[in-house]
Structure 1
Amino acid sequence: MSTVTDLDLGEDPLALDRQVCFALSVASRNVIALYRPLLAPMGLTHPQYLVMLALWETAPRSVKDLCEVLHADAATLSPLLKRLEAIGYVVRDRSRSDERRLEVDLTGKGRELRAEAEKIPYRVVELLGMDLAELEQLNAGLTRVIAASRTALDER
């Protein structure tokens, strides 16, 4: 591994267009903006959509498990789950085997929503106008960034 002094960050290491944080921030904001009109007919925000994606993969799930898979804390997740429950997509209930554990499951309406949501990834790829292989590479690279940043945070 290189040390900081071994790196050549060019003439201006603070140039805005060279900052990973800037590129990630703008890309994230723009991509999420593409999702908004696609999710609106379903009554979902982007964070709620991410919860639904996790539940469509595996349901029921504990709140703790959802926090882990979504890299979120319970304080962030709780209002999302309340809203999803209010619109009839999920139910929250105490586990029968462990009353301390809160489980989240899909309702029939929440399960049915998946068929409509399956159109979204295709539409996003179309809107971005990028090659699917390029988007898959980007996703793999971002997954490595997430893992590396979590490791760095854990080591602090």
Structure 2
Amino acid sequence: MTLPKPPTLDQHLCFLIYSTSLKMTQTYKPLLAALKLTYPQYLAMVVLWERDGIGVKDLAQRLQQDSGSVTPVIKRLEAEGYLVRQRDPRDERNKILSLTPAGQALRAEAVKVAGNFAATCDIDNDEVSALMRNLSKLNHNLA
């Protein structure tokens, strides 16, 4: 009896997503260096640019992480002067994150980063939209 052959590494969707994610993060690294941001810090700032004044728990949820994972990122962003943490008057246990003027000004520079990254990828808007749709569906199905 012959055993079935398992899929090769290149036939695993999980590996393709993993290796692509690593390459994307490495591509962002030099683009973000000029802003003095790491990739996780950049993602946190993107959320704050979408919705300034959110709680730590809300930020963590939006990034699909736990509060403990985002706390070091928040502390570094605060040390850089991009945000401040304040107690939530409605819930003393929660902290509200607010952008400083420096954090708000950084947004204009970050727009350039997004454009440079898109140019590096060399795929058109329709391809990006299709990838986003399919990956969103996969992400949702795995939740």
Output the TM-score relative to the length of structure 1. 0.86
Distance 1:127 1:105, change over 3 A: same
Q: Counterpart of 2:88 in structure 1: which amino acid?
A: S
Contact 1:125–1:132 (Cα < 8 Å) also in 2: no
Give the alignment partner of residue 87 of structure 1, picking from 80, 89, 93. 80
Q: State the Cα distance separating 1:86 from its structure 2 match.
A: 0.3
Q: Counterpart of 2:21 in structure 1: which amino acid?
A: S
CA distance in structure 2 between the partners assigned to 1:136 and 1:51 by the alignment = 22
- CA deviations on 1:129-154 (whole Å, 9 max, x unpaired) are 1112101211111111111111xxxx
Show the counterpart of 2:17: 24
Contact 1:54–1:66 (Cα < 8 Å) also in 2: yes
Show the counterpart of 2:132: 139
Instruction: Among all aligned residue pairs of Structure 1 and Structure 2, give the percentage whose two residues are the same amino acid.
Output: 39
Following superposition, which runs of at least 4 residues in structure 1 exceed 3 angstroms of deviation? Answer: none
Instruction: Determine helix, strand or coil for the equivalent of 1:39.
Output: helix
Instruction: Determine helix, strand or coil for the equivalent of 1:92.
Output: strand
Q: Counterpart of 1:49 in structure 2: which amino acid?
A: Y
Show the counterpart of 1:72: 65
CA distance in structure 1 between the partners assigned to 2:5 and 2:134 by the alignment = 24
Show the counterpart of 2:55: 62
Q: Counterpart of 2:102 in structure 1: which amino acid?
A: K
CA distance in structure 1 between the partners assigned to 2:42 and 2:6 by the alignment = 37
Structure 1 alignment gaps of length 5 or more: 1-10, 151-156
Moved more, 121-130 or 106-115: 121-130
Are positions 1:149 and 2:142 aligned together?
yes
Output the TM-score relative to the length of structure 2. 0.94
Structure 2 alignment gaps of length 5 or more: none
Instruction: Determine helix, strand or coil for the equivalent of 2:26.
Output: helix
CA distance in structure 2 between the partners assigned to 1:28 and 1:71 by the alignment = 16
Q: What is the number of residues matched between the two proteins?
A: 140
Moved more, 132-141 or 104-113: 132-141
Structure that is richer in strand per residue: 2
Distance 1:81 1:15, change over 3 A: same
